[in-house]
Structure 1
Amino acid sequence: MTASMKTARPKDQIRAAYYDQLGGGFGKKVRARVHWIVRQAKGEHILDIGCSGGVVPILLGREGKHVVGIDVLPEAIIEAKQALLEEPTSVKEKVELHEANVMTYTPDIQFDTVLMTEVLEHIGEPERFIARAVSFIAPEGRLVITVPFGVNDYADHKRTYYLNQLLEQLTPFGKIETIERIDKWLGVTIQVYPEPREGRAILPAEVEWLEDAFEEVERLHLATILDLKRKQQNLERKVQRLGEQTEELAHIRAESLRHEQQLQEQHEQYKMLEEQYAALLDRFEGSLVTNLELLEANASWKSKYRSLARSKLGKVVVRYWKFRRQLKQHRSRR
């Protein structure tokens, strides 16, 4: 599940994570996402763009589907082909793996489903990649997209995704079928239109505002957590250097305990924020899985969004901006 463009970035370790080589907890989350992707692959002929180590193509091949996996990174295809060698002949006959760039790849057939998972966040112009992927899909076929949800600032990530921006990019190309939050990822499927449509079905402005504000709050919490962790590490190094100099050691240990408590509080507040946004998505998930053009004409739908400012998340955002104003005023008086 890597982006289909040549960039120097850390090796994708989806295969290692899937088989618990990076820890059981992380493996469980990765399997939940991978299995969701597999369930969305409808039809007999599947294309996996950015197939990485080949986990998804091999799983689909075991189900008897004809799968083509492509990735721009040669080391990813080498890993995928090595994994395929361990499969029975019945699976090998179903799976093709190629080093290829999606923008120049020219398949011989159209596919029932195209998978493009954990790709868009790496791309400067995602609409070009979506349009290219859609061109490979048979009439009434399906495009499956997943992206990291919220702040996920790896060096090669070019954007942060919440729901609104992702839907804005996808709705010209097809009808939204499924929207699902899978831990720290968003998954969307669309049934593609014969031709892209003009205009963009965008969620009401209240949601866009809340998502922008949520990103501000999320980044504030993450920055505070990182700062506290750095301070805690510095204190631990001081403790190691001091040895048995009891008076100063006692002071540092007290400060260390205070930082630990602050760090715990920040983690709890951040978790609460994530839960509130998750509740927001869950609240509207069922309604979103339909034609967004109809939703825009539905007054009751719009009124639900107008009520978001009074939600728990909205109240958190209001408190945050009050804090920002107070902090600014305090600094201006200094």
Structure 2
Amino acid sequence: MNNDTITDVYFGKAGSPGVQRRARERIHWMCSHAQGNSVLDLGCSQGIASLLLGREGKRVVGVDREADPVAFARAELEKEEAAVRERVRFVHADAAELDPKEQRFDTVMLGEVLEHQIDWSGLLDISKELLNARGRLIITTPYGFFPYHDHKEPIYLSRLWAELAERFDLRETLLIDAYLAIVAQRPQKSPRRLSSDDYAHGLTLADRRLADVDIRAEALRLDLQRRTENHKALESELAELKGRSAGTERRAQDLENATAQRQTLQERLVRADDELKHAQEALELSEQEVAVLRDEREGAGAAAEKALAGARQLGEEARAAAQALAAERERSKALESRVFELDTALRANEAEATQLAQRTSRREAELTEEIEDRERQLDEALRRRMELEAELRRPVAART
């Protein structure tokens, strides 16, 4: 399959501006050299040349052996005015199927067809048979190697001229960019021989084509050199980016470590809060125990006073009362000693609780300051990471 889209190229819907301009130039050249009223467009593809000639008032038959481009050409023809639709028709057929006895033409066009044939000499014979007497053959074809998936062997001027000179009179040969453009005529008798002027003109065309190839080769060499230098620059930039990526990974690891340390500090702060809570609970228990002992002391004092009053009233029992009082006093002393010990323990516990609270407060302040410092480090690390990620996302062209 050729997959030609020449109509889209002609109307600027496909290809680069240069390709579009050169395609239009070749198509217009062919149309301008069509003679007579009847034209056969062999290998018409999507039919753009046939439509242009139909608009100029010529009767045109476009023939192509591929069904898709013929269907496309017919659809385009339906968009034309009635007069053009009456003058132009498209046929899905091979050139060998056309019968010269049914119709001959004033002009046969082979617009970039020969390069798609393995043996194009037979197509020249068919074209000659389909021409009226003194009818004109118009050819465009790439000169030399032209990379395209459906092109067969490259066509060079010497063989093409030799094949044409056996069948036609050569009238014009020129170079349109990298394409040969040839006008030949069906001879009345035998074809005229090529002259020395013809060969000199052919040599000029060959020199022009060679010069174009040299210019393009040099342009390609310079472009390759530039691309090589750009490639090296890109490799250097890639290596730098890899280094930055490694630094980013290290910073990310530092960030993870800082996050873990922050978590550890938070856990230590929670434990310190628990220790402070436990100390406060122990202090409350100690205060409750002191209150109980004070109550006992007050009760013991009341009992001693009652015993002393009984001793005064009961003189007879003074000795016993004295002994009981002494015993009660001893108990009171013991209780006072116990109270003193508990007071001492309470003060010690209060002092210890105060110190613990102070230490806890200081440690909490230190932990808070350390956490804030870690958070600042974390924010700075995150900011650096975001900057690096943004730099990595920037296109290479923007950084250069």
Fold shared, TM-score > 0.5 on shorter chain = yes
Residue 99 of structure 1 aligns with an amino acid whose one-letter code is H
Query: In 2, Cα distance between the equivalents of 1:230 and 1:155?
Result: 26
Deviations 1:194-237 (A, max 9, x none): 4665987796599779959x769948938857865875685476
Question: TM (normalized to structure 2)?
Answer: 0.52
SS of the equivalent of 1:87 reads: coil
SS of the equivalent of 1:125 reads: coil
Deviations 1:220-264 (A, max 9, x none): 9388578658756854763564353689xxxxxxxxxxxxxxxxx
For 2:296, the equivalent position in structure 1 comes to none
Superposition pairs for residues 284-295 of structure 1, below 5 Å? none
SS of the equivalent of 1:93 reads: helix
1:48, distance to aligned residue in structure 2 (A): 0.1
Residue from 144, 147, 152 that aligns with 1:158:
152
Query: In 2, Cα distance between the equivalents of 1:206 and 1:97?
Result: 37
Query: In 2, Cα distance between the equivalents of 1:162 and 1:83?
Result: 34
Residue 242 of structure 1 aligns with an amino acid whose one-letter code is A
Query: In 2, Cα distance between the equivalents of 1:168 and 1:116?
Result: 17
Residue from 8, 27, 44 that aligns with 1:16:
8
Residue 60 of structure 1 aligns with an amino acid whose one-letter code is L
SS of the equivalent of 2:95 reads: coil
Superposition pairs for residues 167-246 of structure 1, below 5 Å? 167-194=161-188, 211=206, 218=213, 221=217, 231=228, 235=232, 238=235, 241-244=238-241
Residue from 87, 94, 97 that aligns with 1:94:
87
SS of the equivalent of 1:103 reads: helix
1:155, distance to aligned residue in structure 2 (A): 2.7
Residue 66 of structure 2 aligns with an amino acid whose one-letter code is L
Contact 1:20 1:26 (8 Å CA) reproduced: no
Contact 1:168 1:201 (8 Å CA) reproduced: no
Contact 2:115 2:153 (8 Å CA) reproduced: yes
Q: 1:81 to 1:224 in 2, by over 3 A?
A: same
1:76, distance to aligned residue in structure 2 (A): 0.7
Superposition pairs for residues 1-334 of structure 1, below 5 Å? 8-9=1-2, 11-22=3-14, 23-106=16-99, 108-194=102-188, 211=206, 218=213, 221=217, 231=228, 235=232, 238=235, 241-244=238-241
SS of the equivalent of 2:98 reads: coil
Query: In 2, Cα distance between the equivalents of 1:217 and 1:90?
Result: 43
Q: Which one has more relative contact order, counting CA pairs under 8 Å at least 6 apart? A: 1
Contact 2:169 2:191 (8 Å CA) reproduced: no
Query: In 1, Cα distance between the equivalents of 2:205 and 2:82?
Result: 51
Q: 1:138 to 1:216 in 2, by over 3 A?
A: same
Residue 32 of structure 2 aligns with an amino acid whose one-letter code is R
Q: Which structure has the highest helix share of the two?
A: 2
Q: 1:18 to 1:131 in 2, by over 3 A?
A: same
Moved more, 104-113 or 189-198: 189-198
Residue 171 of structure 1 aligns with an amino acid whose one-letter code is A
Contact 1:51 1:70 (8 Å CA) reproduced: yes
Question: TM (normalized to structure 1)?
Answer: 0.62
Contact 2:174 2:205 (8 Å CA) reproduced: no
Larger gyration radius, structure 1 or structure 2? 2
SS of the equivalent of 2:241 reads: coil
Query: In 1, Cα distance between the equivalents of 2:146 and 2:191?
Result: 31
Query: In 2, Cα distance between the equivalents of 1:182 and 1:209?
Result: 14
Moved more, 174-183 or 21-30: 21-30
Contact 2:169 2:192 (8 Å CA) reproduced: no
Contact 1:18 1:27 (8 Å CA) reproduced: yes
Contact 1:173 1:195 (8 Å CA) reproduced: no
Contact 1:162 1:211 (8 Å CA) reproduced: no
Query: In 2, Cα distance between the equivalents of 1:185 and 1:206?
Result: 15
RMSD across aligned positions (CA):
3.5
Contact 1:116 1:146 (8 Å CA) reproduced: yes
Residue 153 of structure 1 aligns with an amino acid whose one-letter code is P
Query: In 2, Cα distance between the equivalents of 1:92 and 1:139?
Result: 27
Residue 244 of structure 1 aligns with an amino acid whose one-letter code is L
Deviations 1:68-101 (A, max 9, x none): 0001111110111111111010100000101111
Aligned residues: 239
Query: In 2, Cα distance between the equivalents of 1:60 and 1:210?
Result: 29
1:38, distance to aligned residue in structure 2 (A): 0.4
1:142, distance to aligned residue in structure 2 (A): 0.4
Query: In 2, Cα distance between the equivalents of 1:109 and 1:234?
Result: 61
Q: 1:71 to 1:225 in 2, by over 3 A?
A: farther
Query: In 2, Cα distance between the equivalents of 1:18 and 1:206?
Result: 30
Query: In 2, Cα distance between the equivalents of 1:38 and 1:84?
Result: 17
SS of the equivalent of 2:83 reads: helix
Moved more, 194-203 or 140-149: 194-203
